Amino acid sequence: MPSTKKILHFMSSALATSISVGLIGYGMSAQWVKTTMECAQKNSNGSAEIYNGSAEITLTLFDGIIKRVSCPLFGATDEFQVIPTLAGREIAPVVLQGLVICLLALCLLFSACSILISLYNSVSNPYETYMGPVGVYICSSLSACLSVIVLILFVVNVTATNMAETFVETYTEGFAVKLKGKASEMQVGYYLVIPYTVLSLIAIALIYTYEHAAYTRKKEQQKPTEDAPMDLTMY
């Protein structure tokens, strides 16, 4: 029968990972970034008019909304699918966005494995090599590492590619527009990846704390008799 301390640590690890899964699951459906740009219509000679228009793009991982004010001539609000809209226009944003979604799916998979392994160990004694603490370490570490990569890739996609400009150009076809002053603000979906990473690391720390204490206690029990007091070894 597993000890109460072991059950507590492994159940706490499973709980921390479960909370992280809930956070990232909600985050994947929430808004990730809001980008605004100034917009102007080009003259017939190619120079730009006064930048008196604007475009605001709000994105989730899968879809988005673009709001245009005087860009180029009138205001409008359009909804779109992110990857289908980019496909055939820009390669880099499609690849990066696809990687972000795939890595998040892997995060969920590894987190689910970590939960199952933790629950298994909370009711089993002894535990198997890859179905024990090592399994939790591997799965939670992969989840944490992949989530950090997601944070980096998404920022790169927003700031270093023409993803936002492509969305505006898609809905202003037939008009020669010029864009400048791109500014992006990350939203709740993006920031929820951070506590997910932290909770994955906490799940590792909880198991490590138990393992370290159990190992220390075992080593103390296996000390040779010569380390015992002299009056005890005489008998």
pLDDT, one tens digit per residue, over 179-212 is 888 999 999 999 999 999 999 999 999 998 888 7
> What token pair was written down for 110?
């590894």
Fold for 4-213, please state it.
Answer: Butyryl-CoA Dehydrogenase, subunit A; domain 3 (1.20.140)
Residue 56, SS3 per DSSP: strand
CB atoms within 10 A of CB 235: 4
pLDDT, one tens digit per residue, over 55-71 is 999 999 999 999 988 88
Measured CA to CA, the distance from residue 199 to residue 144 in angstroms comes to 9
- Structure confidence at residue 176 (pLDDT): 73
SS in 3 state form for 105-138?
HHHHHHHHHHHHHHHHHHHCCCCCCCCCHHHHHH
* Torsion angle of C-alpha atoms 13, 16, 22, 25, degrees rounded to 10: -70
Residue 53 zone, left/alpha/beta (φ > 0; ψ -120 to 50; rest) = beta
- Residue 175 to residues 39, 91, 136, 172, Cα–Cα distance (Å): 12, 23, 55, 6
**Rg of the chain's alpha carbons, rounded to an integer?**
27
Domain spans in the chain, listed from the N-terminal domain onward:
4-213
Confidence of residue 223 (pLDDT cuts 50, 70, 90): low
- Residue 16 to residues 58, 81, 153, 214, Cα–Cα distance (Å): 31, 33, 25, 21
CB atoms within 10 A of CB 222: 7
